[in-house]
């Protein structure tokens, strides 16, 4: 299979070969964000009717989503940390990207990550982590 997509390392900004790295998200950070969102919502939930209410200024206090990252194993700033990772070899085609998206949508924690922004970047061609492969576009 010719690679249609290249994973780009956040560290050195070079493409990651199949066996050299991965796309990953810090699961401990995701758990902290889940807890922070729960606390943010609890503070703004009406004790009587259970409705969530907040003003415009409250939005600025909403916890930020956890960023997906891509690294060569040698560039990884946190090797061995708790992470959910996708090996570079398993995210080389649009079909694989779609399969991973469907799989991740089953995870309750996915909305606390920037997977949606990640996908928009890939789709628009200006992705920070995944770009259309020169080899893949040459064979189109």
**Higher-confidence position of 137 and 103:** 103
What was the pLDDT predicted at 128?
Answer: 65
Q: Would you say 118 and 129 are in contact if contact means Cβ atoms under 8 Å apart?
A: yes
In the predicted structure, residue 40 carries a pLDDT above the cut 80:
no
Judged by average pLDDT, the poorest of 38-47, 68-77, 130-139 is 130-139
pLDDT in tens, 21-35: 999 999 999 999 999
**What are the residues whose beta carbons fall under 8 Å from the beta carbon of 60, sequence distance 6 or more?**
none
- Render pLDDT for 79-136 as a digit per residue (tens, 0 to 9): 888 999 999 999 999 999 999 999 999 999 999 999 998 888 886 565 666 666 665 4
């Amino acid at each position: 299979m010719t690679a249609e997509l290249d994973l780009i390392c956040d560290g050195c900004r070079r493409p990651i070969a199949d066996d050299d790295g991965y796309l990953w998200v810090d699961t401990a950070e995701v758990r902290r964000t889940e807890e922070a969102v729960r606390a943010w919502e609890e503070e703004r939930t009406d004790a009587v009717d259970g409705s969530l209410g907040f003003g415009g200024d409250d939005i600025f206090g909403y916890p930020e989503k956890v960023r997906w990252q891509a690294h060569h194993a040698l560039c990884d700033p946190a090797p061995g940390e708790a992470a959910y990772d996708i090996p570079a070899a398993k995210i080389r085609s649009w079909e694989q990207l779609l399969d991973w998206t469907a799989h991740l949508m089953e995870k309750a924690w996915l909305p606390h990550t920037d997977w949606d922004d990640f996908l928009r970047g890939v789709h628009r061609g200006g992705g920070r982590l995944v770009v259309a492969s020169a080899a893949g576009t040459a064979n189109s």
